[in-house]
Amino acid sequence: MEHDERAAGSRCLVAGATGYIGGRLVPELLAAGLRVRCLARDPGKLRDHPWAGEAEVVRGDVTDADSVAEAMQGVDVAYYLVHALGSGRDFESTDRHAARIFGERAKAAGVRRIVYLGGLTPAGVPDHALSPHLRSRAEVGSILLGSGVPTTVLRAAVIIGSGSASFEMLRHLTERLPVMITPRWVRTRIQPIAVRDVLRILVGSADMPARVNRAFDIGGPDVLTYRDMMIRYAAVAGLPRRVVLPVPVLTPGLSSHWVGLVTPVPASLARPLTESLRHEVVCHEHDIEAYVPNPPGHPLSFDEAVRLALRRVQDAQVATRWSSSAVPGAPSDPLPTDPDWAGGSLYTDLREAEVDAPADTLWRVIEGVGGENGWYSFPLAWALRGRLDRLAGGVGLRRGRRDAQRLRIGDSLDFWRVEEIEPGHLLRLRAEMRLPGPAWLEMYAENEGAGRSRYRQRALFHPHGLLGHAYWWAVSPFHALVFGGMARNIARTAAAAPHPRERECAPAR
């Protein structure tokens, strides 16, 4: 591969770092030895990212020429990962205006390369016949290519990764509907690509020779219809085979409302996504490989990309996705800036109670749950659940606990397993009873000062298919009795327990 200038040590500007791709690209650029500056309208949105202390973050907006000009100072490579998708009917005008500012200010600042991630467009279809979403992405690419700054435009179809709007739509449709009456666009041929390959190509594009100023199609090894993708997603996720029945009566507009009804993906996003699915989006060239060669095992297959996107659930770590301390470890993992509907469904039952006892006393009660001590609420319900679990081939409540007072990671605890302990603060249990999806129970002891504490309890359930959703809604009417009673009784038990100082002062008998 020929290089005019090495990218290592260069400064990169990432416009769109709060977005799906941008938030995942920054740590990849840092790992490649590049210095990174992020342009964000609200820098506070980036503070919880694990890389926040390694990248420079500046306030600005791509529609504000002055802030873009300031952000461009000293920059070698500028990544443009911004789209006004779902921001209103005039999003094409907003995209056009922002792209012109970005290109003009990049040229004025002496930026040596712009890298833009756009959409894969069908061959032979005139611009006016494209969906507004694809048409706008194509126009932005043309504007940047004509800016006078050498530009790499990468054109991708559906990106497979947790948090990608296209993937989340696919996930929720497949998870929730075992039988689907679908629009005609489920027959459209698509060449999806794994988010890991997209990021790898974005990073590699920083090092292209100055003479390169063009667009490249990027895609994975599989060309599939949308129907194929739903069926293969179900297979990878361990769901029963989906029945997909296309009908000709659902227009893109009706389709977006249907998607909005069935899934948590907002209709404002579903509409441009479904409109784009009218067109066949398949790579017509693979020239990018001459500049960013594929390492062994890449590009990833559709099945492998889905498997990685579901990894958090399969590895029993999904609970941390909804925790403020979540630290993603891979491009497929969720980020703090991902929307609430990303990462699949998660049902939560949250309970809190003030405790008239110090946190260490409350913690002893938490660490003592299960086994002979029971679960502090409605013993008959817990016993019945254990019996039902044994009838279904599960472990039931017969395992008890290893030690009456102390727990450690990996301990069995009735039909739970200790997954995480932060002594004095957090106990996280993973359910091992037979359920249509993984479940967790978290219990926290939080110090409130002045000899008081707060008990916080969180039950989480990640439904597996339609049966999982049905299960949660079937049992949720009993949560107030079971989980609510558990929170109240743990708080009362802690408040009634002798405090450490009281035990020390008690007379010997």
Q: Of 265, 293, 310, which one is at a domain's C-terminal end?
A: 310
Pair (372, 468) in one structural domain: yes
Residue 490's pLDDT is what?
A: 94
Please choose, from the candidates 154, 163, 237, the residue with its C-alpha nearest in 3D space to the C-alpha of residue 199.
Answer: 154
Q: List Cβ neighbours of 198 (8 Å cut-off, separation of 6 or more).
A: 21, 117, 154, 156, 159, 218
| Cα-Cα-Cα-Cα dihedral sign, residues 270, 276, 279, 283 | negative
Pair (300, 403) in one structural domain: no
Identify whether 315 is part of a domain: no
Identify whether 331 is part of a domain: no
CB 46 within 8 A of CB 226: no
Please choose, from the candidates 347, 426, 341, the residue with its C-alpha nearest in 3D space to the C-alpha of residue 170.
Answer: 341
What's the average model confidence in pLDDT over 253-274?
70
Structure pTM? 0.74
Identify whether 404 is part of a domain: yes
Residue 40's pLDDT is what?
A: 93
pLDDT exceeds 50 at position 151: yes
224-225/189-190 β-pairing: antiparallel
Q: What is the tens place of the pLDDT at every residue in 422-468?
A: 999 999 999 988 888 889 999 999 999 999 999 999 999 988 877 88
442 forms beta bridges with 428, 458
Pair (177, 295) in one structural domain: yes
Identify whether 365 is part of a domain: yes
Q: Whole-angstrom Cα distance, residue 366 to residue 360?
A: 10
pLDDT exceeding 70 applies to what percent of the chain? 84
Q: What is the tens place of the pLDDT at every residue in 334-393?
A: 565 666 666 667 788 999 999 999 999 999 999 999 888 888 987 777 777 777 777 777
Q: List Cβ neighbours of 260 (8 Å cut-off, separation of 6 or more).
A: 266, 267, 270
pLDDT exceeds 50 at position 3: no
* Model confidence band, residue 169 (pLDDT cutoffs 50, 70, 90): confident
Domain that holds residue 194: 11-310
Pair (302, 356) in one structural domain: no
Query: Where do we find the tokens 């989006």?
Result: 281
Greatest mean pLDDT range, 83-92, 190-199, 365-374: 190-199
Residue 257's pLDDT is what?
A: 65
Structural domain tally of the chain? 2
Higher pLDDT, 257 or 237: 237
Residue 240's pLDDT is what?
A: 87
pLDDT exceeds 70 at position 330: no
Q: List Cβ neighbours of 210 (8 Å cut-off, separation of 6 or more).
A: 4, 5, 112, 113, 150
User: How buried is residue 108: exposed, middle or buried, by Cβ count under 10 Å (0-12/13-18/19+)?
Assistant: middle
Identify whether 502 is part of a domain: no
